[in-house]
Chain A
Amino acid sequence: MSPKLHEMGDNGTPAISVNALRKQFGEFEAVKGVSFEVGAAEVFGFLGPNGAGKSTTINMLCTLLKPTSGEARVAGHDVMRERDDVRRNIGLVFQDPTLDGYLTAEQNLKLHAELYGVPKELVAPRMEQVLKMVGLWDRKDGQVMMFSGGMRRRLEIARGLMHSPRVLFLDEPTIGLDPQTRRTIWTYIRELQEREEITIFMTTHYMDEAEWCDRIAIMDKGEIVALDTPEALKADVGADRVTIHVDDNDAAIAALENRFGIEGKVAEGACTFGVEGGEQFVPRLFAELGVPIRGVSVSRPTLDDVFMSFTGSTIRDAEEDPSKHRNRVMMQMMGGGGRR
Chain B
Amino acid sequence: MTAVADKPVEPIEVVRVHVPKRSLASELRAIKIVWRRELIRFKNDRMRIVTSLVQPFLFLFVLGGGLQQLASAGTHGVDLKTFIYPGILCMTVMFTAMFSAASIVWDREFGFLREMMVAPVRRSSIVIGKCFGGATVAVFQGCIVLAIAWTVHVPYSLGLVLGVLALQLLLAFAITAFGLAVAVRIKQMQSFMGVMQMIIMPMYFISGAMFPAAGLPAWLTVLNRVDPLAYAVDPMRRLVFSKLAISPIARHVLDPGISWWGWRMPAILEAAVVLVLGLGLLGVAIWEFSSTE
Contacts and interface: CB of A to CB of B under 8 A. Distances in A.
A100 B112 contact: yes
Given A84-B120, A132-B10, A339-B293, A122 B17 contact: yes
15 contacts: A62-B118, A64-B293, A88-B21, A103-B40, A107-B40, A111-B33, A112-B115, A112-B119, A115-B119, A126-B15, A183-B3, A186-B4, A187-B4, A187-B7, A195-B12
Interface stretch (A89-97, A234-242, A247-255): A89-97
Interface of A: 62-66, 84, 87-89, 92, 94, 96-103, 107, 110-112, 114-119, 122, 125-126, 129, 132-133, 143, 162-164, 183, 186-187, 190-191, 194-196, 336-337, 339-340
B41 A103 contact: yes
A336 B14 CA distance: 37
B41 A118 contact: no
Given A117-B19, A117-B120, A65 B12 contact: no
B44 A102 contact: yes
A97 B15 CA distance: 26
Contact of A164 (B16, B21, B121): B16
Contacts of A125: 15
B15 A337 contact: no
Contacts of B116: 115
B30 A114 contact: yes
Contacts, number: 116
Given A114-B33, A125-B15, A94 B114 contact: yes
A274 B17 CA distance: 51
Contacts of A87: 118-120
For the complex of A and B, 3 pairs with smallest distance between CB atoms: A114-B33, A115-B119, A117-B26
B192 to A, nearest CB: 14
Interface string B1-28: 0011001011010111111111000100
B215 interface: no
Nearest to B126: A115
A163 B7 contact: no
Contacts of A100: 37, 41, 107, 110, 112, 115
A133 B118 CA distance: 24
Chain B contact residues (Cβ within 8 angstroms of A): what range? 35 or more
Contacts of A97: 110-111
Contacts of A340: 292-293
Interface in B24-57: 26, 29-30, 32-34, 37, 40-41, 44-45
B293 A96 contact: no
A118 B140 CA distance: 31
B187 interface: yes
A115 B37 CA distance: 12
Given A111-B33, A111-B37, A117-B20, A65 B14 contact: no
Contacts of A107: 37, 40
B14 A129 contact: yes
B148 to A, nearest CB: 29
Contacts of A116: 19, 119-120
B120 to A, nearest CB: 4
A336 B109 CA distance: 9
Contacts of B40: 102-103, 107
Contacts of B4: 186-187, 190-191
B241 to A, nearest CB: 40
A133 B9 CA distance: 10
A162 to B, nearest CB: 7
Contact of A195 (B7, B14, B45): B14
Contact of B32 (A114, A132, A190, A194): A114
Contact of A194 (B9, B12, B19, B37): B9
Contact of A337 (B19, B33, B187): B187
B116 to A, nearest CB: 7
A196 B15 CA distance: 9
Nearest to A66: B293
A164 B18 CA distance: 7
Contact of A196 (B14, B32, B110): B14
Contacts of A65: 293
In this complex, which of B3, B7, B33, B118 has the most chain A Cβ atoms within 10 angstroms of its Cβ? B118
Given A101-B110, A102-B44, A111-B33, A191 B17 contact: no
A116 B121 CA distance: 7
In this complex, which of B17, B112, B119 has the most chain A Cβ atoms within 10 angstroms of its Cβ? B17
Given A103-B40, A117-B30, 4 more contacts: A100-B107, A102-B40, A117-B19, A119-B17
